[in-house]
Structure 1
Amino acid sequence: MIRAILFDCFGVLVGQGFDATWRRAGGDPDQDRAFIADLLGATNVGVISLDEMTVQVCDKLQITPQQWAEVVAETERADQGLIDYIRDDLKSSYGVAVVSNASAGTLERVLTAEQRAVFDAQVVSAEVGHVKPDPEIYELAARKLGVAPSECVFTDDSLAYCQGAEAVGMQAIQFRDREQFVRDLEAILSHT
């Protein structure tokens, strides 16, 4: 029986993922894959701050911090329709959580207080010391909701992170867009 639904932040609740932001800022995410992986890896576990990340991004892309902030503001908008669906259709029957590879304080930056209040738990990699697909981050989210991993559905735009959730016993939906996610989730929930 499904008792909880876990959501990635970037690429699901907010924006279209870091690659889209990087591309909008003038970078080539494929060409810069190693740099991005190292940068996000260090940021997501709290080795470097968001401000330090911004300095490195601006150096790499040869843009100003103001230009980077404008790109981030354009591309990292919350999907209010999805958040409304979670609040109106899911929250009364299921525990809901955000599970994100992100720096400390990121959710406060990209989601309003009202949007964050929709979620029963928030698990941010830099705040807990584990990054997806480490099994511990999924297990921690389930514990925070008081459920077993087998009672969870996890959604993320990253196939590898979905596979990480499946490895601990969760069902997973690779997120492509809101409509596809709702269809896939409702199919899972109708069979439990």
Structure 2
Amino acid sequence: MYRGLILDFGGVVTTDFYGAMRAFGVREGLGEAAVENVLRNSEEGRAALAQVEDGRMPQREYEATLARLLGVDADGLLGEILADLRPCRPVLDLVDRARAAGSATAILSNSWGTGSYNPYDGYGLEERFDAVVISDRVGLRKPGEDIYQLTADKMGIPPSECVFVDDTAHNLPPAERLGMAVVLFDDVEAGIARIEQLLQLG
């Protein structure tokens, strides 16, 4: 019986994270894969992302680095990249139902640093979730196993009794190794159905 639900933020609690980045690239005339190419295929981009996620690089410096690699203005860049993100209402409704049924809930998010841009603003995470773990605030990041264990510890539930949900496939194996059930959230309807099944929500 699973009694803990751990959700990624961008792309799970929100609408499509990668879709938002692609839409930005199209708007800027850079091509829809521009941001993902910098984050995944540029050595400097990958290093900067890791450093901002675990708090070693300030958000402002990361924004400037990303702007230079993309060839765009740095001012307000992170907000512009993710401007299309909206709350995923079916997931938020699921969280409320899970809590009402007795499950503990948590957010586990790799962040783009703490600063003037706050993608979590307006979601009421502290009120809606039993634990909120943001990577730069704890000095750890997915897919390092320690941050998954930390999240379970904050919920007071063994990893083997937790369900972990993320829209990025490479973030799932560490959770599995700890004994968590995992859900790749690449389709809202199918993902919610799988979570409902695991948590035995009617």
TM range (shorter): 0.7 to 0.9
Question: What CA distance in whole angstroms lies between the structure 2 residues aligned with 1:187 and 1:64?
Answer: 46
Structure 2 residue 152 is the aligned partner of structure 1 residue 142 = yes
Q: Pairwise mapping of residues 89-168 of structure 1 onto structure 2 (< 5 A)?
A: 89-92=97-100, 93-105=102-114, 109-113=118-122, 115-116=124-125, 117-168=127-178
Cα distance in 2 for partners of 1:54, 1:159 equals 25
Displacement after TM superposition at 1:21 (Å): 1.4
Q: Distance in 2 between matches of 1:128 and 1:51?
A: 19
Change (3 A) 1:53 1:18: farther
Work out the CA distance in 2 between the residues paired with 1:23 and 1:113: 22
| Distance in 2 of aligned mates of 1:19 and 1:44 | 20
Q: Deviation per CA, 1:119-156, whole angstroms, max 9, x where unpaired?
A: 11111111112211211111111110111000100000
Residues 13-48 of structure 1, C-alpha deviation per residue, up to 9 Å, x if partnerless? 124235741662335246432333222101101111
Q: 2: CA distance between counterparts of 1:22 and 1:58? A: 15
Sequence identity (%): 25
User: Normalization by structure 1: what TM-score?
Assistant: 0.86
In structure 1, which of residues 170, 183, 191 is the aligned counterpart of residue 193 of structure 2? 183
Instruction: Give 2:61's aligned amino acid.
Output: E
Partner of 2:5: 5
Question: Offset at 1:72?
Answer: 3.1
Distance 1:20 1:114, change over 3 A: closer
Find runs of 4+ consecutive structure 1 residues off by over 4 angstroms: none
Q: Is 78-87 or 157-166 further displaced after alignment?
A: 78-87
What stretches of structure 2 of length at least 5 have no aligned partner? none
Structure 1 residue runs without a partner (length 5+): none
For the structure 1 residues 134 and 143, does the alpha-carbon distance in structure 2 shift closer, same or farther, using more than 3 Å as the test? same
> Contact 1:21/1:71 (CA < 8 Å) preserved in 2?
no
Asked if 2 retains the 8 angstrom alpha-carbon contact of 1:13 and 1:78, the reply is: yes
- Aligned equivalent of 1:59: 68
Q: How well do the aligned residues superpose, as a CA RMSD in angstroms?
A: 2.4
The code of the aligned residue for 2:87 comes to A
**TM-score, normalised on structure 2?**
0.82
* C-alpha separation in 1, matches of 2:79 and 2:66: 13
Instruction: Find the aligned partners of 1:135 and 1:8 in 2 and give their Cα distance.
Output: 15
